[in-house]
Amino acid sequence: MLIFTLRRLNLFIFTMFLLTLLSFSLSFLFPGEQLINISGQINATPKQLIVLAEQYQTNNNIAQQYFAYVSHLFQGDLGISMASQLSISNEIMRFLPATIELTLVALFIAMVFGIPIGFIAAIKHRKATDNIILTISMLGYSIPVFWLGLLAILIFSIQLGWLPSAGQLSLVFEIEHVTGIQFIDILLSDSPYKWQAFQDASAHIFLPACVIALAPATIFVRLARTAMMDVLDSQYIRAAKAKGLSFKQIIYHHAIRNAMVHVIRDVGLQFANLVTIAMVTEVIFSWPGIGRWLIESIFQRDHTSIQGGLLALSSFIFIVHIVIDFIYAALNPLARESRNGA
């Protein structure tokens, strides 16, 4: 496990180096002055610009400029937004929790529905149930997320009036911002209407989370189906059958557990897909997350926010990958061996 951890640590350091290098390069690639792009100080006086040039070492060579930029990152300084003149770090800390909350709920929905359906398809292999599940999953994967989001609002919000179409919580509830994750903030609040606020937050998140979850759920169906088919075709399952175990015992005691190990390995890969879909969905549902904030920054040509937002989002996705790698290694000791790429 020590070698596995060191390998992941090396990978983390190397990837973060590439991400910071890319982020630093953007300040040269964006139009305008490099010092303004990296600091966001569009209204700085000549005296302030001299101080900034000294802080970012823009008069020195490129390597010193890069290390000056990284030292600012270590201090939590990503510059200020060109549009709002607010700290990028504070903006990210304000919007990122809402995206994490939405993405985790969507991931939960995708796994709860996608994995069991995939197992059923594998158990009913080459039967009508298998064909129907594969056809529906293919259709679900092919639907564009923006069209699905608008269709969901039209049906469930406008026509039926079951669910709200925008926002994170109704304005009648005043919940103090503590963590940024709405459900946790509601539970921590002293509001006498805590339960009503919780129900309202659940109603607000349900529709966008389901829209985000559809495409990953169809992928989980296919992954779970393939994993279960491989397990059912393995030697130990044949041995279990030879021992006289019933079909239910084989499925519940042996097949599901081993198939899940293979599915969890791919959850990290799907997480990046989920975040990408969430960015589009946040705009459609006016969800106050970092995806919507980042897209608005692109429209406003807010280079500092784009730079900081991309770095924060990429780092977050990579950290999730690493965490899932550790979970997979803990569940499957073979994954920790060097011959398996650990």
- Alpha carbons 266 and 324: distance in angstroms, whole number: 9
Full pLDDT tens readout for the chain, 342 residues: 777 778 778 888 888 889 889 888 888 888 888 888 888 888 888 888 888 888 888 888 888 899 998 898 888 888 888 888 888 888 888 888 999 899 999 999 999 999 999 999 998 888 899 899 999 988 888 888 888 999 999 999 999 999 998 888 888 888 888 888 888 888 888 888 888 889 999 999 999 999 999 988 999 999 899 988 888 888 888 888 888 888 888 888 878 888 887 787 777 777 777 888 888 888 899 888 888 888 888 888 888 888 888 888 888 888 888 888 788 777 777 666 655 555
Q: What is the pLDDT of residue 249?
A: 83
Give the pLDDT confidence score for residue 154 in this predicted structure: 93
CA distances from 122 to 118, 192, 222, 238 (A): 6, 49, 9, 16
pTM of this prediction?
A: 0.85
Closest CA to 70 of 135, 21, 127: 21
